Amino acid sequence: MSGTKAGPKAQVTAEPLDLTGWPRARAARRLRFIRDYILTPKGEGALKPFKVRPWQREIVTGAFAPGIRTALVSLPRANGKTALAAALAVAELFVGPPSAEVLVVASDQRQANIALRMAKRMIELNPDLAERAMIYADRIVVPENDATMMALPADPGALHGWDPSLLVVDELHVVTEPVWEAVTSMSGKRPESLTLAISTPSTSPDCVMFRLVEHGREGTDPAFFLREFAAPDGCATDDRAAWKIGNPALGDFLAEDGLEAARRTLREPVFRQLRLGQWVSGSEAWLPFGAWDACAAPDLGTPPDGSKVVLAFDGSASGDSTALVGCTVGPDPHLFVAGLWENPGDRGWRVPREDVDNAVALAFDRWDVVELAADPWGWRSEIEAWATRQGERRVIEWNTAAAQRMAPATDRLYQAVVTQAVTHDGDPRLAAHVAHAVAKPTTLGDLIVKDKRNSPRKIDAAVASIVALDRAAFHTNNQPRRRAASFR
Ligand SMILES: Nc1ncnc2c1ncn2[C@@H]1O[C@H](COP(=O)(O)OP(=O)(O)O)[C@@H](O)[C@H]1O
Ligand SMILES: [Mg+2]
């Protein structure tokens, strides 16, 4: 054994902990251990028993449910992420599987050491644990269980050759793709093991963590557990009810005045990210924060059959997304998604052209479609077929790459959104596309673009919305007006 700066005992002589009658289920066993053995190391309630809050119990139960291999918990700062992870690490050492191996990985060694230090402190605070553990500078060893806990630097080279039963990633949001790859390559060798990542959201959704959050939100992976705590998107920064939604520890071990002080001193996007748990898109986001959500009118949904609408189509030639967005024609324009086909993340995915074709036909059957404006890129033959089927007059080509038309149309939607002169159906996929849109100033006005070329953060439905509103405005202004009354 190396580095004995902390002066560990030469050997452990105490009998192993008596666990007769303890639950076998992973979560229940750990919760019992924390209740019986862990004291709060510092902060609110320091030196008192560590009381697992109901929302923390939910996290533990979900993360340690049978079959879960990866758990991701998104929580704002100071909601006890590191403390809970440390308590679970100590539980793993004492009541986990034989030869438990607990690794803590973080963006850097210093951050990883925080959890290790907290775990050490938890052990030192309880003589029953302290006499059964050997505490070294760089690790904790519990001989009765042949268990070890270590903190590792987030260096892909250092992350091979381990066989963790519990791998804690503290602050996943700063972990890079190569590090995450190394993490996943070393986990999962045992019949039961868990990678537990706990983190605030990142400064930008362009990262490993957001990819995993999206994976979890899909809800299709039975081995993945996701729990997110965030204030509702678009809430005011001083909305204390929203604070509470995002911060389960608020008013408990997290003081409200601390959060208020942070609100006054942090830049708004940083406050939202770190203290409200919100995903903040880049500062160059096209729309002001929350503006799109403020226009949501989900009650209106898609317009009733027979309504007068325009449709806008932005198709992808290959593996991108394809959007069909409608807008009602009339004094209160309402945008709605009539079809959206997105790559679920397969390299070989191709947009199902037949489905798109059917959706267009269906839309024409269902509503009084005044016009379909379609971007011709990659879809020319379909568009020609639609024109033949629906009438040349009703199907027009709209080149979304032409700034002369696109810039004023982009400005129109912008103005309409910020003045709440338009509503939309609240479709979360459309909201995501709008949130992905980054403003690109041109001499003709702003255009919207993706955050970078080949970015998976698609904007096609936002582009189609711009076209749809523009064409709806055109047809609203050119509608034959009904005379109010005649003088005869
Ligand atoms: N039930 C509890 N769960 C987690 N932390 C608690 C609890 N009760 C008190 N605390 C204290 O609250 C503080 C939480 O801080 P920390 O774990 O560093 O938060 P985070 O990692 O989320 O920023 C710690 O000082 C911890 O000891
Ligand atoms: Mg922490």
Please write the tens of the pLDDT for every residue from 389-408: 999 999 999 999 999 999 99
> What length is written for the chain?
488
Is the CB of residue 254 less than 8 Å from the CB of residue 76? Answer: no
For residue 303, is pLDDT > 80?
A: yes
* Nearest ligand, CA 171: 2
Token pair listed for 296: 């949501």
The architecture of the domain spanning 291-477 is 2-Layer Sandwich (3.30)
Residue 487's pLDDT is what? 40
| Parallel, antiparallel or unpaired: strands 224-228 and 70-74 | parallel
CA of 137 to the centre of ligand 2 (A): 20
For residue 1, is pLDDT > 90?
A: no
Q: Give, using CA atoms, the residue closest to atom 3 of ligand 1.
A: 80
pLDDT band at residue 486 under the 50/70/90 scheme: very low
Token pair listed for 388: 């033949």
* Nearest ligand, CA 46: 1
* Torsion region of 84: left, alpha or beta (phi above 0 gives left; psi -120 to 50 gives alpha): alpha
Token pair listed for 429: 């996929």
pLDDT band at residue 2 under the 50/70/90 scheme: very low
CA of 250 to the centre of ligand 2 (A): 16
Helical spans, DSSP H, in 374-437: 380-390, 403-418, 428-436
Residue 485's pLDDT is what? 42
**Which atom of ligand 1 is nearest the CA belonging to 79?**
22
Is the CB of residue 81 less than 8 Å from the CB of residue 198? Answer: yes
Helix (H) or strand (E) holding 266: none
Q: Give, using CA atoms, the residue closest to atom 27 of ligand 1.
A: 42
Strand ranges for 305-429 from DSSP E = 308-314, 322-328, 334-341, 368-374, 395-397, 423-424
CA of 121 to the centre of ligand 1 (A): 13
**Which atom of ligand 1 is nearest the CA belonging to 52?**
1
Residue 481's pLDDT is what? 52
Whole-angstrom Cα distance, residue 211 to residue 370?
Answer: 39
**Which of 56, 79, 111, 199 has most ligand 1 atoms within 8 Å of CB, for mutation?**
79
**Largest Cα span, the chain:** 111
Cross-strand pairs, 279: none
Whole-angstrom Cα distance, residue 166 to residue 161?
Answer: 15
The domain over range 26-229 is classified in CATH as 3.40.50.300: yes
Residue 350's pLDDT is what? 87
CA of 75 to the centre of ligand 2 (A): 10
Strand ranges for 302-341 from DSSP E = 308-314, 322-328, 334-341
Whole-angstrom Cα distance, residue 372 to residue 367?
Answer: 12
Q: Calculate mean pLDDT across residues 17-42.
A: 97
Q: Give, using CA atoms, the residue closest to atom 14 of ligand 1.
A: 80
**Which atom of ligand 1 is nearest the CA belonging to 83?**
17
**Which atom of ligand 1 is nearest the CA belonging to 53?**
1
**Which atom of ligand 1 is nearest the CA belonging to 46?**
27
Residue 170's pLDDT is what? 94
- In angstroms and rounded to an integer, the radius of gyration of the C-alpha atoms of the chain is 28
Please write the tens of the pLDDT for every residue from 342-352: 988 777 888 99
CA of 252 to the centre of ligand 1 (A): 10
Q: Give, using CA atoms, the residue closest to atom 6 of ligand 1.
A: 80
Handedness of CA 70, 76, 82, 87 (dihedral sign): negative
Please write the tens of the pLDDT for every residue from 404-457: 999 999 999 998 998 999 999 999 999 999 999 988 877 787 899 988 777 778
Helices 54-63 and 26-37 pack at an angle, to 10 degrees, of 140
pLDDT band at residue 7 under the 50/70/90 scheme: low
Residue 9's pLDDT is what? 75
Whole-angstrom Cα distance, residue 321 to residue 357?
Answer: 15
CA of 230 to the centre of ligand 1 (A): 17
Whole-angstrom Cα distance, residue 204 to residue 289?
Answer: 14
Token pair listed for 141: 């060893």
Residue 4's pLDDT is what? 44
69 φ/ψ angles, rounded to the nearest 5 degrees? -110, -30
* Nearest ligand, CA 113: 2
* Residues with a beta carbon under 5 angstroms from ion ligand 2: 81-82
Please write the tens of the pLDDT for every residue from 264-298: 877 677 789 999 999 976 546 788 778 999 999 99
Please write the tens of the pLDDT for every residue from 36-49: 999 999 999 999 99
- Domain borders along the chain are 26-229, 291-477
Residues within a 6 A CB radius of ligand 1? 40-45, 50-51, 53, 75, 77-84, 253
Of 213, 217, 186, whose CA–CA distance to 199 is shortest?
Answer: 213
For residue 484, is pLDDT > 70?
A: no
> Quick one: CA torsion of 284, 285, 286, 290, rounded to 10 degrees?
-140
